[in-house]
Chains A and B, each alone.
Chain A
Amino acid sequence: MAQRQRYREGIFEALRLSFLYFLLVLYLIPFFLVFVNAFKDRNQIIANPFRLPSAFHLANFIEAFRKMNYPYAFWNSLVITVLSTALIVFFSSMTAYLFARLPWKFNRFMFFLMVASMLIPFQAIMIPLVKIYGSFGLLNNRWTLMYMYLGFGCSFAVFLYHGAIKSIPLELEEAAMIDGCSRFQAFFKIVFPLLKPTTTTVAILDVLWIWNDFLLPSLVLISPRNRTLPLSTYYFYGTYTSEYGLLLASLILSITPVIIFYLFMQRHIIRGILQGSIK
């Protein structure tokens, strides 16, 4: 009886597994297509997108690398992404700490305002934003961009940190403060290290967002030497049609770093969300 039960369970598991893998294959087909077609030239791609390339030659990649000014673009993307994420993590965690520990009316109001602001469609503030900063001559500058990412990214980060901090018992900080720590020190020595999972989650999500972001950099960074990777891939889009082979190669060059980053970090995402969720 028990054996039959286990047998049945085994079949169920096998069924579930095969269903999941089948679904996964379907999910990843677009990636397969991007990868395969990046090795072909434009007309081959149009003629038959499914056929495997005749040879895995790297011509597209090499040309895309050159045209994108890859080293510069990569460096720009890296600097902007890493620094912006660091800013967001540093400042948002402190802010969330304040909101979570000191529930003053003003804090509650600000928290609500921040969460609500996540709903503002970017197009609604795009032109006013550009007009304001442009009139101060602050555009075409990587620092301005990073500052804007802080402004845009802090809401979601504060939201995540807020939940996480609430789940950390007060006693730890209270003990420290009785011993003479200022609140500031208590935060950095005790609370922040405990927030590692959430920090990881915030970092991953922000890196994904900022690395792939196109619209904001296209408005703020104007000259070619300031371009980030997504901006440089747009080089390959023509007015009516595109250099598909080069385009796909440039896409792969552009998102590979972030995929690698993601694969390294992915097991931490769940832990981070878990920590941020217990209110």
Chain B
Amino acid sequence: MVSEKTPFGKVGTYLLFAGPTTFAFFTVVILPFLFGVYLTLTNWDGLSATYLFVGLKNYRMVFEDKAFWTSFGLTLKYVAYTVVLTNVIAFTLAYLLTSGIRGQNFLRAGFFVPNLIGGIVLGLIWRFVFSNVLVYVGKRFGWELFLRSWLAHPDKAFWALVIVSVWQSSGYMMVIYIAGLMGIPKDLVEAATIEGATGLQRLRYVILPLLTPFTTVCIFLSLQRGFIVYDLNKALTEGGPYKSTELVAMHVYEKAFLAQQYEIGQSEAFFLFAMIVGVTLAQVYLGKRLEVEQ
């Protein structure tokens, strides 16, 4: 067995354990990514056999694309609401489902199930619910709120998107929070109760701080899902009515393939990626700092 201490040994060990993974990762993710970056510096329209190098011109056009920035702003709003609501609901459910209620396992499984349907299918089912089912309910019971299809108005359509996203993801985050809650040492909680802490105080000073790593992970995952949402957007509202709920990933996709300005769409995609990385890095950094301080 070759020693691990030598450089040769190190390379050997690396290749043995992580070789295939690294190779696959590079050729499937990194390489296309770099190629994509290169393409944003050209004017390839996705189809022609030839293209020219145009430097940063595409990025300049990104700045000029007002609709891109509008959709980005809308996405920020969407992400803010979705992340907060998902995590609050997920945590509440997790808290309730770790308190020893009867049928806990069944309930836990039940709330996770929405996560099993994805993308386009999810959007179509909910579109059906909003435009047919709810309207039917509204007419039947005379509930004003549902009389008009939610998808026909910009504000309500936006909330429809938020609701469906929260519905889908809360079960997933709930499971993570449950794991976190189960990992909290019981004696700490008992000690706090003995010292006279109320439920709320226990929550605030013992449980939540110990959950910080989980919260960080959940927020990271919900941010990621929120920023790149496309399937749901497309299937539920199609960006409507009249493009008022077009989130940024959808805008980028349509720019590339619908307006057939592929080079600009690709550039916008990378721009988006850079911004997402910025936001999530900041979030994880803050999370780690909070963790350390405990």
Q: Are A and B direct contacts in the complex by CB distance below 8 Å? A: yes
Residue pairs across A and B with Cβ atoms less than 8 A apart, 5 shown, are A118-B224, A155-B29, A183-B4, A214-B120, A274-B182
Beta-carbon contact of A49 and B270 below 8 Å: no
Given the complex, which residues of B lie within 8 Å of A50, measured CB to CB?
Answer: 133, 136-137
Interface centre among A17, A98, A118, A279 (most CB of B within 10 A): A98
Is A123 in contact with B16, judged by CB distance below 8 angstroms?
no
Taking CB atoms and an 8 Å cut-off, the chain B residues in 83-109 that contact chain A are 93, 96-97, 99, 101-103, 105, 107-109
- Find chain A residues with CB under 8 A from B167 CB: 27
- CA separation between A38 and B29, bound complex, in Å? 39
A-B contacts, CB under 8 A, total? 210
Chain B residues with CB under 8 A of A113: 30
Q: Which residues of B contact A119 (CB under 8 A)?
A: 224, 227-228, 273, 276-277, 280
Instruction: Specify which of B10, B108, B183, B249 is in contact with A277 (CB 8 Å cutoff).
Output: B183
How far, in angstroms, from A34 to B253 measured CA to CA in the complex?
29
Which residues of B, 262-276, contact A by the 8 Å Cβ criterion?
Answer: 262, 266, 269-270, 272-273, 276
Tell whether, in the assembled complex, residue B128 and residue A49 are in contact, meaning their CB atoms are under 8 Å apart: yes
Give Cα A97 to B14, complex, Å: 11
Residue interface bits A180-212, CB-to-B below 8 A is 1, else 0? 001110010000000000000000000010001
B32 to chain A: which residues have CB within 8 Å?
Answer: 125, 128-129, 132
Q: Is the CB of A49 within 8 A of B132?
A: yes
Contact between chains at B178 and A95 (CB < 8 Å): no
- Beyond A114-B25, A127-B46, A270-B182, is A33–B35 a contact (Cβ under 8 Å)? no
Tell me if A20 counts as interface (CB < 8 A to partner B).
yes
Contact at A128–B35, with CB atoms within 8 Å? yes
Shortest C-beta distance, B202 to chain A (Å), equals: 16
A155 vs B206: C-alpha distance when bound (angstroms): 32
Please determine whether A123 and B256 come into contact, CB atoms closer than 8 angstroms: yes
